[in-house]
Every structure is written in C-alpha cells, then in structure tokens.
Chain A
Amino acid sequence: GENVGLHLPTLSVQEGDNSIINCAYSNSASDYFIWYKQESGKGPQFIIDIRSNMDKRQGQRVTVLLNKTVKHLSLQIAATQPGDSAVYFCAENIRGGKLIFGQGTELSVKP
C-alpha cells in the first residue's frame, strides 16, 4: 500500500542540540502534511503543518521542510529539551480526505 515511512525509528540527542527527524512519502496526490508528537498513552498532538505549495515553514523552535521532488519531509527541532522526548509522526493528507500516518520516530533527549 502507499504509506508514509520514516528513515530512523529511534533518535537520541543531547539536550541543547538540534534534532532532525525524516519522513518519506510515496503518494504524489498528497497535498498537505502534518507533524505530530505523541507522548506515552496519549493521543497525538499537532506540531506543525505544511501545504504542497510551500517548501519550508517555521514555528516556535520547529521547522518543517518539504521536498516534493524526492517526496521527503523533515522536522527540525532547535535546542532540543527533555520535554521534547516523545514519538514523532508525519502524516499526509491525500486528496479525497484520507489522512495516513508514518511509522514514527522515538526521540530521546539526554540531559
């Protein structure tokens, strides 16, 4: 099937460093992408989104980059903090309404 896949299942970073989480998508009909953060036992929380007519979007300490040529999405977290430790998912919204999630990357921040 057509799924969003992640390159790294786990990522460990030092507190204060920048984190980069990657995601590959395969559906060329996707036109909207979202990054979510999920803490253990809870529902995913929205972090940042980007539409297919953009290649970069910045939020507070987070930046999403979209490369449609190679169907790649990344989430950059600046000055990573212990509270950023969680599982991060990318999701793609396929025209027609389907919202598909990737496998997830577990981010661990070492103090």
Chain B
Amino acid sequence: DGGITQSPKYLFRKEGQNVTLSCEQNLNHDAMYWYRQDPGQGLRLIYYSQIVNDFQKGDIAEGYSVSREKKESFPLTVTSAQKNPTAFYLCASSIDRTEAFFGQGTRLTVV
C-alpha cells in the first residue's frame, strides 16, 4: 500500500531530552513537510523539504531540527531548546503543486 507513515503514534518526553519523530513515505514524492498542531488550532509549518539533502525553515523552526538524507524519509527531532513541545505533529508529502498527503500524526507529551 502506498502512503505516509508516522511513528510512534504517542510519544512521551522528559524535560531536557531530545526526541525524534519518524516520517516515511513510499509515494515517490519529492516534497515533505512537518507541521505542529496545538489543541483547537491550525497547522503551523516547522520545516519543509523540496528535494533530498535540502530543507527550509518554516514559521516555527526554533527548537526543531530535520534531515533529508533519503527521498522516503524526513525525521523531525524535537530538541531540549523547544520549551513547549507538547503538541500533535503531522508529516505530509506531495508532488509540487498537488495535494499533500498526511500521516496520522504523533502526539508528543512532556512528562
């Protein structure tokens, strides 16, 4: 089945820890995106990548890092510099100027 997979579905982080959220797609899409969603809010762009080995900051990149070593994979690391990381994280992929397909999200909670 073609699609975009995020893991894990739920993630708990202790304060001061870095955590990495996984996003994998087998749709052969060039573009990939990471969004953060807080309760009752819209999606805010963290990072996006148009091609392998290249990525750009979105609107709220501080405290996050990404890599794009493979076309299929775009992992997001939430670093200890992100002071309020509890949120729902969504990954998406697309071919340029077509609809983006979303994963089912990772819910991150700081404990």
Contact = CB atoms under 8 A, between A and B. Distances in A.
Interface stretch (A11-19, A65-73, A75-83, A100-108): A100-108
What secondary structure prevails in chain A residues at the interface with B?
Answer: strand
A42 to B, nearest CB: 6
A64 interface: no
Interface residues of A, number: 23
B33 A99 contact: yes
Contacts of B100: 34, 46, 91, 99
Interface string B81-97: 00000000010101011
Interface of A: 1, 31-32, 34, 41-46, 49, 51, 89, 91, 93, 97-104
A42 B107 CA distance: 10
**How big is the B interface, by class?**
20 to 34
Contact of B58 (A41, A51, A98): A98
Interface of B: 31, 33, 35, 41-45, 48, 50, 56, 58-59, 90, 92, 94, 96-105
A88 to B, nearest CB: 11
A43 B42 contact: no
A99 B92 contact: yes
A99 B90 contact: no
Contacts of A104: 41-42
Contacts of A46: 99-101
Nearest to B35: A101
Contact of B102 (A31, A32, A43, A49): A43
